[in-house]
Structure 1
Amino acid sequence: MANSTSSPATAPPAGQRRLSGRLGVGSIVFMVVAAAAPLTVVGGSVPLGIAIGNGAGYPAMYALGGVVLFFFAVGFTAMTRHVPDAGAFSTYVGAGLGRSHGLGASFLALLTYQTIQAAVYGYLGAALGGVVADLGGPDLPWWVWAGLSIAAVGVLGYRHIDLSSRVLGVLLVGEIGVVLVVDAAVVLAGGGPEGFSTAALTPSGIASGAPGIGLMFALAGFIGFEATAVFRDEARDPDRTVPRATYAALLVIGLFYTLSAWAVVSAWGDGPAVAAALEDPEGMVVTTATRYAGAVVGDLVQVLLLTSLFACVLSFHNVVNRYVFSLANTGVLPHAWGASHPRHSSPHTASLLQTASSLAMVALFAAFALDPVMEVYTWMAGIATLGFVLLMLLTCVAVLVFFRRTRVDGRRWNTVVAPSLGVAGLALAAWLTASNFDLLVGGWTVAVVFLVLTAGSYLLGPLVAALRPGADVAAAAHLQVATVPHQAGGPAQSLAATAAPTDQTTPTTTETDR
């Protein structure tokens, strides 16, 4: 008979601290692919990657990025069954590398997802204001439209997750559909004057220009695909649903971006595509749509770009809500922030807090008169890109350490080979991102400030570990490991032998078999 004890910080009252739902693979894939904002990436990042990345060879960067992230996903999904909490990055890092590193990853994740939301709110406010003004509506400042968008997202985030899932599903189908129509039109036309581009298939084409910057832009397009794990509590069968959704989301995103970027290059021709991207990056894809699929489709691309941006922030809002919910229920953040709504079974308190913080950030940007696209979007997206790559790198390292220590999974490919390849690829990506950070944020003066901010968010981990001894993002994962039979052939591991190292002051959860 197993006797268990745990600290109050890690054992919230039953029925008050859990989320519920019956999300299947399709619903979760909708959620995370929407967070990746397919039309926003195709309409914004693709022209920039062509212009200042590796030119006509840029589509290959999405395929290369997908391969690197596949290695990450193999270890990530292998660990999901041993991490029953919905904290994703922070929980995985904590389970593998220890309490302080897990706490550091939790704050870095919050910074990453909050800044990508801020970036998109800036872009959405400017784009929505422009469209409304063009249609004869009121010409209001961008931050007014951003504030209204935050309010709408807040309402949906407060309600049950199924409502957000349905909204995201409709919006996502629309934006992917219109891009595929443009892709098909280009293919049926045989490409542009030069025919179909082959630059992305040749070593010289891939290595042209600045391939490091191209890879950086490509990886930014995948932000959010790993968020499948944060919907664990609301998944129909989490041990199967989360891994399947992760692979499906990665495959859909990688193929979609690669195909669409190639179609854009083919529509113009290798040299002309670079010239067009340099001259008018914002309008390149709309012009492509109008030229090959007609004015109606071109107008539709403009409209769906707005819904793409909205779907993106709604999805990230849901992700951050669940991070806050998980951190509050593991003692990292105030316990009251981890409540779930009695009727909607949603992290409503976290949603209200995040809505307030987003409004505060937009108000701050407006007070300093920052440009919503060239400053708000570019700067905040830069921080998010670096944070995303660092979090995945830390998670890959944590997977290696976790399985080496616990031996709960004997599959060498899943627990050693693939995660090691992921570490190598992500370490290179992190170096490329940091060394080119000035290009993302407009100069080294701002870059240094944001690099310090990124590092500081992670260093909050050891500080909180010292100030809040009961805080442990991986407490549930440690308990789960203690009760999972040793799949390599041995008996179940004791917590003392398997749990990640923690500070001496940490009141750990213990379980002994008697």
Structure 2
Amino acid sequence: MTSALRAAIDRAQDAEPTGDHVRSPLHALGRRQLSQLDLIGQSLSTIAPATGMVFIALWMTVSAPGLGGVLTIAATTGVVVLVAWCITQFTRRLAAAGSLYSFVFQGLGTRAALVTGTALIVGYLGISISVLAQGARTVLDLGELVGLNLPGTGPWLVTAVLGGVVALIAIRGVRFATRAILLVETCSLVLIVATMLVAPAGGTTTSELPVSPLSLLPFLALMTVLSMAGFESAAFFGPEARRPLVTVSRTVLITPLVVGALFVFTAVASLTGRGSLIIGAYFDGVDSGASWAVVLAVKTGMACSWFASTLGCAQAGSRLLYSMGVERVLPSALARVHGTLRTPYLAVTTFVAVSVAGAVLYTLVAEADSSVFDGVVEVALVAAYTLVAVASLRFLHRIGEDTTWTRVAAVFVALLGGGLLVATAVDGVTHSLLVVPVALVALLVSGPVWRAVLRRLRPQSLATIGAFDTVETSDLLPGAGTLVLDEHGRPRIVTGGIQEERM
């Protein structure tokens, strides 16, 4: 950057704006503060690849799907990368706190956007509830390991404490949170990978698999999707990123590649029996024959990973609630932002409170057989990814920037995602598990129903859906013109009588 350009930018920042100051709809967030490293930390923490590796190792070791399981995981990773490619068609052009919800609106309109919003709420809340409950249970296991036994209310108490810490960190500031959880998740990953590398081959495990309502390979595919869910969470932080159109897109593409490689490594290692030690240490403790030190290390690493995932979900989910609050699709109170910390504190508190309540209920009811709960979450996530693929196809065609590759990727993901949803619903009926197909139907009708309710109670909100970060008066260099809002509320630069629209 030349000294003259730097001086011009400094003058623009110091100059007093003329006329009304035009702001981005998302100006309350701390704009332009997150680096590439921060975004990678957010996505990796939400995925919690260390936990996914352990559960993939469990299924690969006990169910022994052989090479077919490895290929299923690898193929699913490839599909997720294609989903990421579809998402980047939006992140290269828009920065939105609503992520896929806002992107789908740009391609498919209000109803599909509301379906996607419902799917993301179900998906992120479901993941948060599950990982928070698992984290609390792991902390209790650690307590027993060191001789500290909590009373019967222990699970509830630990869940509430973990939720409170998550809320405090998320409200404290997004940069602090992303860097803290990146450190935690990196340590967990190093521990899990090192254990698999040094473990003797050919080990056995006595762990039992949870009941699965689906056939093995389709279940492995859905479990891989669930384990990689959150790779796109960096897209929620576009308005807060320094170079959102570049760094968010890189993160969305890089994260599934890295995590997919770790999952394939885990699957291959499990085929040789190298996953048995870590599976036994986590699920069976010292009863598996693993040493006390190994069990302590594995459970500590997993507890950290569960905590990091809970924090990542809280940060991403709160941005979705914040965006919907700005648009008044949900109560506008959710759009309140802390004046100093620049975080949506009410949205964070709401998301974490629901997660804590859900985690307590999950511990009491669903933990013994979580397959139904997981199935609903998986269906919601697959539906959201399918819709964003279709939306990218329509969006690029409308703006005249579609190519053969983008069309092929979008059509492939849409057909595969739709086929997987249908297959999951049919498999659920076959196994007399009607909750999954019913959840799919409820999800698909949620958009039209939500839109009808908004049209009746709050019709003005329908005109504000799809809010994304736009240029502000303070972003303009001296002499670049004056920023005004047109009759539709869109920012335009006025220079010498000529108006230019700016996204």
TM bucket normalised to smaller: 0.7 to 0.9
The reply on whether 1:427 has 2:450 as its aligned counterpart is: no
* Cα distance in 1 between the residues matched to 2:307 and 2:143: 15
* Cα distance in 2 between the residues matched to 1:215 and 1:261: 13
* Cα distance in 2 between the residues matched to 1:449 and 1:139: 39
Match for residue 89 of structure 1? 100
Match for residue 25 of structure 1? 36
- Structure 2 unmatched runs, 5+: 1-21, 205-214, 472-486, 493-497
* Cα distance in 1 between the residues matched to 2:465 and 2:287: 49
The reply on whether 1:380 has 2:368 as its aligned counterpart is: no
Correspondence list, 1:19-98, <5 A: 19-48=30-59, 51=62, 54-55=65-66, 57-98=68-109
Code of the residue aligned with 1:348 in structure 2: it is: Y
Shift of 1:213: 1.9
Match for residue 389 of structure 2? 396
* Cα distance in 1 between the residues matched to 2:313 and 2:404: 33
Shift of 1:364: 4.6
Structure 1 stretch 467-476 or stretch 235-244: which is displaced more? 467-476
Code of the residue aligned with 1:466 in structure 2: it is: R
Match for residue 137 of structure 2? 126
- Determine if contact 1:68/1:426 at 8 Å carries over to the other structure: no
The reply on whether 1:223 has 2:214 as its aligned counterpart is: no
Structure 1 stretch 321-330 or stretch 132-141: which is displaced more? 132-141
* Cα distance in 2 between the residues matched to 1:87 and 1:261: 34
Cα shift readout 1:461-500 (whole Å, capped 9, x = no counterpart):
32344233222464446989xxxxxxxxxxxxxxxxxxxx
* Cα distance in 2 between the residues matched to 1:405 and 1:265: 47
Residue in structure 1 matching 2:159, options 146, 149, 161: 146
Match for residue 459 of structure 2? 469
Structure 1 stretch 446-455 or stretch 97-106: which is displaced more? 446-455
- Determine if contact 1:49/1:58 at 8 Å carries over to the other structure: yes
* Cα distance in 1 between the residues matched to 2:161 and 2:99: 30
Residue in structure 2 matching 1:412, options 404, 428, 449: 404
Shift of 1:127: 2.2
Residue in structure 2 matching 1:105, options 86, 97, 116: 116
Residue in structure 1 matching 2:322, options 306, 320, 325: 325
* Structure-2 change in CA distance of 1:286 and 1:418 (3 Å): farther
TM-score by length of 1: 0.77
* Cα distance in 1 between the residues matched to 2:442 and 2:163: 24
Code of the residue aligned with 1:434 in structure 2: it is: A
Q: Percent identity?
A: 20
Cα shift readout 1:268-300 (whole Å, capped 9, x = no counterpart):
69xxx7xx99x9796389999x87xx7634431
Residue in structure 1 matching 2:262, options 256, 275, 278: 256
Shift of 1:90: 0.8
Code of the residue aligned with 1:374 in structure 2: it is: A
Residue in structure 1 matching 2:128, options 106, 117, 121: 117
Shift of 1:438: 7.4
Match for residue 178 of structure 2? 165
- Determine if contact 1:91/1:102 at 8 Å carries over to the other structure: yes
* Structure-2 change in CA distance of 1:360 and 1:299 (3 Å): closer
Code of the residue aligned with 1:67 in structure 2: it is: G
* Cα distance in 2 between the residues matched to 1:230 and 1:463: 26
* Cα distance in 2 between the residues matched to 1:437 and 1:153: 35
* Structure-2 change in CA distance of 1:456 and 1:116 (3 Å): farther
Match for residue 214 of structure 1? 220
Code of the residue aligned with 1:226 in structure 2: it is: E
Code of the residue aligned with 2:146 in structure 1: it is: L
Cα shift readout 1:389-444 (whole Å, capped 9, x = no counterpart):
0000011001111111221x25432x3122122212322332343334479xx962
Shift of 1:378: 3.8
- Determine if contact 2:24/2:470 at 8 Å carries over to the other structure: no
* Structure-2 change in CA distance of 1:57 and 1:242 (3 Å): same
- Determine if contact 2:77/2:224 at 8 Å carries over to the other structure: no
* Structure-2 change in CA distance of 1:183 and 1:46 (3 Å): closer
* Cα distance in 2 between the residues matched to 1:239 and 1:72: 17
Code of the residue aligned with 2:267 in structure 1: it is: A
Code of the residue aligned with 1:389 in structure 2: it is: V
Shift of 1:347: 1.1
Tell me the secondary structure at the aligned position of residue 267 of structure 1: coil
Code of the residue aligned with 1:135 in structure 2: it is: V
TM-score by length of 2: 0.79
* Structure-2 change in CA distance of 1:217 and 1:329 (3 Å): same
* Structure-2 change in CA distance of 1:224 and 1:287 (3 Å): farther
* Cα distance in 2 between the residues matched to 1:403 and 1:471: 25
- Determine if contact 1:28/1:245 at 8 Å carries over to the other structure: yes
* Structure-2 change in CA distance of 1:374 and 1:53 (3 Å): farther
Tell me the secondary structure at the aligned position of residue 471 of structure 1: helix
- Determine if contact 1:47/1:281 at 8 Å carries over to the other structure: no
* Structure-2 change in CA distance of 1:26 and 1:452 (3 Å): same
The reply on whether 1:370 has 2:381 as its aligned counterpart is: no
Correspondence list, 1:343-354, <5 A: 343-354=340-351
The reply on whether 1:192 has 2:202 as its aligned counterpart is: yes
* Cα distance in 1 between the residues matched to 2:419 and 2:61: 21
Match for residue 478 of structure 2? none
* Cα distance in 1 between the residues matched to 2:60 and 2:452: 38
Shift of 1:457: 4.2
Cα shift readout 1:36-72 (whole Å, capped 9, x = no counterpart):
1112112224313554583553232221111111221
Code of the residue aligned with 1:391 in structure 2: it is: A
Tell me the secondary structure at the aligned position of residue 283 of structure 1: helix
**Aligned pair count?**
445
Shift of 1:385: 1.1
Tell me the secondary structure at the aligned position of residue 461 of structure 2: coil
Residue in structure 2 matching 1:156, options 147, 169, 187: 169
Code of the residue aligned with 1:177 in structure 2: it is: V
- Structure 1 unmatched runs, 5+: 1-10, 195-208, 481-506
Cα shift readout 1:330-371 (whole Å, capped 9, x = no counterpart):
2211222112211111111111222222233345557xx425
The reply on whether 1:240 has 2:232 as its aligned counterpart is: no
Tell me the secondary structure at the aligned position of residue 343 of structure 1: coil
